[in-house]
Amino acid sequence: MTDGNKFRKDIFRSPIDFTISLSGNFGDFRTNHFHSGIDIRTQGTVGKNIYACADGYISRIRISPYGYGNAIYIDHPSGYTTLYGHLRSFNQEIAEYIEQKQYELELNTIDHYLEPNEMPVKSGDVIAKSGNSGSSSGPHLHFEIRESETEHPLNPLFFGFDVPDDVKPEIYGVYIYPLEKWSTINGQMGEQYFTAIKKGNNYGLSEKVAVSGKVGIGLYALDRFKNGKYKHTFNALSMKVNGKTTYQFKYDELVFETLRDVNSHMDHEKKILAKQKVTKCFKDGHSRLEIYDVIEGNGILDIFPDETKTIEIAVVDAELNESVISFNLNGVQNDLREVVREQSVKTLLADQENAYHSESLSIFFPEGRLYRDVQMNIHHNLGKTHTDSYEITPVYEPLKDWYTLKLKYGPVEEELQSKMTIMLKRKCGKIKPLYSTYDNGWISCRTKEFGEYFVGIDTIAPSIEMINKNIEIGKISFNVRDNFDQFEYYEARVDNRWLMLFFDRKVRKFHCDLRDLDLENGEHELEFWVKDAQGNRGTFKRSFSI
* Per-position DSSP letters for 449-486, written without gaps between them: S-EEEEEEE--PPPEEEES-S-GGGSEEEEEEE-SS--
Three-state SS for 123-150 is CCCEEEEEECCCCCCCCEEEEEEEECCC
Instruction: Write down the pLDDT at residue 343.
Output: 63
Q: What is the pTM of this model?
A: 0.93
Instruction: Write down the pLDDT at residue 3.
Output: 63
As a whole number of angstroms, the distance between CA 126 and CA 94 comes to: 11
Model pLDDT for residues 265-300, shown as the tens digit of each residue: 999 999 999 999 999 999 999 999 999 999 999 999
Counting every residue written for the chain, the total comes to 546
Distance, CA of 496 to chain centre: 39
CATH code, 463-545: 2.60.40.10
368 in Cβ contact with 287 (< 8 Å): no
Amino acid type, 129: K
Return the SS3 of 4.
helix
As a whole number of angstroms, the distance between CA 194 and CA 188 comes to: 13
Q: Who's near 65: CB < 8 A, 6+ residues apart?
A: 109, 133, 134, 503, 504, 505
Range list for CATH 2.70.70.10 in the chain: 22-158
Model pLDDT for residues 409-435, shown as the tens digit of each residue: 988 999 999 999 999 998 888 899 999
Domain 346-457: CATH class, spelled out: mainly beta
Instruction: Write down the pLDDT at residue 229.
Output: 86
Task: Pick one of 3.30.499.10, 3.30.70.920, 2.70.70.10, 3.40.50.150 as the CATH number of 22-158.
Answer: 2.70.70.10
As a whole number of angstroms, the distance between CA 475 and CA 516 comes to: 10
Range list for CATH 2.60.40.10 in the chain: 463-545
Helices (H) and strands (E) in the chain, counts: 3, 44
Range list for CATH 2.60.220.30 in the chain: 346-457
Return the SS3 of 269.
helix
Instruction: Name the residue among 85, 211, 226 with its Cα closest to residue 146.
Output: 85
CB count within 10 Å of CB 416 equals 11
On the CB side of 236, CA atoms within 13 Å amount to: 22
End-to-end Cα, the chain, rounded Å: 67
pLDDT averages per 10-residue partition of the chain, 546 residues: 76 97 97 97 97 98 97 98 98 98 98 96 98 95 98 97 94 97 90 95 95 97 91 97 98 97 98 96 96 97 96 97 98 71 81 96 97 95 78 96 95 91 90 93 97 95 89 86 90 98 93 92 95 94 90
As a whole number of angstroms, the distance between CA 478 and CA 466 comes to: 4
As a whole number of angstroms, the distance between CA 302 and CA 215 comes to: 6
Instruction: Name the residue among 220, 174, 162, 257 with its Cα closest to residue 29.
Output: 220
